[in-house]
Amino acid sequence: MIRAILLFILFAVLYQAVKTVFRAAVRAAQDPSDTGRLPGEEMVLDPQCRTYVVKGRAVIRRISGAPTHFCSTHCADEYERLRRR
Ligand SMILES: [Zn+2]
């Protein structure tokens, strides 16, 4: 009986280890250009005022289905208003 419990624990630990390795592999496969930079450091272009903003701090609006990044809500509102005309 003890043997069965020990086997169970062994499998549980192995499962966790495999899961951790698998998750790391998936992450590496999804972003091969990953050079250790933080995801928030990526720069995106504000189509309204044409300035580059850090993606992590940008205002995101869905413009005709595509997420578009802006430096501020002011630019986002302005861009949507101009597009609507
Ligand atoms: Zn802007």
pTM for this predicted structure: 0.52
84 in the same domain as 51: yes
Domain identity same for 28 and 49: no
List the domain range (segments joined by +) for residue 41: 37-85
Count structural domains, the chain.
2
Q: Which amino acid is residue 29, in one-letter code? A: A
Amino acid identity of residue 62, one-letter, is R
Residue 27's pLDDT band (cuts 50, 70, 90): confident
Residue 49 near residue 71, CB atoms below 8 Å? yes
Report CA(68)–ligand 1 centroid distance (Å). 11
> Ligand 1 centre from 65 Cα, in Å?
20
| pLDDT surpasses 80 at 34 | no
Q: Indicate if 22 and 46 belong to the same structural domain.
A: no
Same domain? 51 vs 78:
yes
Q: Give the environment of ion ligand 1: residues with CB less than 5 A.
A: 46, 48-49, 71, 75
Ligand 1 mean position, distance from CA 56 (Å): 15
Cα-to-centroid distance, 47 and ligand 1 (Å) = 7
Same domain, 29 and 41: no
In this structure, the answer to whether residues 43 and 5 fall within a common structural domain is no
**Whether residue 48 has pLDDT greater than 60:** yes
| Distance, CA of 67 to CA of 73 (rounded, Å) | 14
